[in-house]
Amino acid sequence: MKLQYKFVEFMPDIVEENILYISVEYCTAIHKCVCGCGNKVVTPISPLGWKLIFDGKSVTLDPSIGSWNLKCKSHYYIRKSNIIWCDVWDDSKVKLNGIKKQKQIEKYFEKIRNDTN
C-alpha cells in the first residue's frame, strides 16, 4: 500500500483514507489508520516525536507508528510513502517502550537545561 501526501497549513475537517496530511507550520502529520478502522492517527513532528523526511517524491516518518490506544493496535512504518507492517506489540512491550520514551524525554530536557546554564 502506498500513501499519497498533501502539505497543508491546517488539517482538513475530513481526513481522507490513504492520504498523509502534513503541516510543516504546525509540525504535525495526520492520516487515517491504514488498517481501515477509520481512526485518525496524529504524529507530532519534533525532536521527541516523529521525524519527517521529504525527498521530493515521497515521505518517510520515523519511528514506526504504533496505534496502541486504538482497538486495532496497528503497527507500521511509513517509508518512502509505502506502508510496511510490523508485528503487533503485546502490552508488556508497549509499556517498556513507554518507559524508554520517558527516559529519552528526561534526557533531552536535561541536556537543554545543562546547555543553557
Cell numbers 529519552: residue? 104
The answer to whether the CB of 59 falls within 8 A of the CB of 53 is yes
Segment 99-114 shows an average pLDDT of 84
Segment 20-30 shows an average pLDDT of 97
Segment 90-116 shows an average pLDDT of 84
Query: What confidence tens digit (pLDDT) does each residue in 27-72 have?
Result: 999 999 999 999 999 999 998 889 999 999 999 999 999 988 889 9
Percent of the chain topping pLDDT 90: 66
Mean per-residue pLDDT of the chain: 92
In whole angstroms, what is the distance from residue 99 CA to residue 83 CA? Answer: 26
pTM: 0.86
In 3D space, the residue among 67, 76, 77 whose CA is nearest the CA of residue 37 turns out to be 67
Burial of 100 (0-12, 13-18, 19+ CB in 10 A): exposed
**Most confident segment among 19-23, 104-108, 109-113:** 19-23
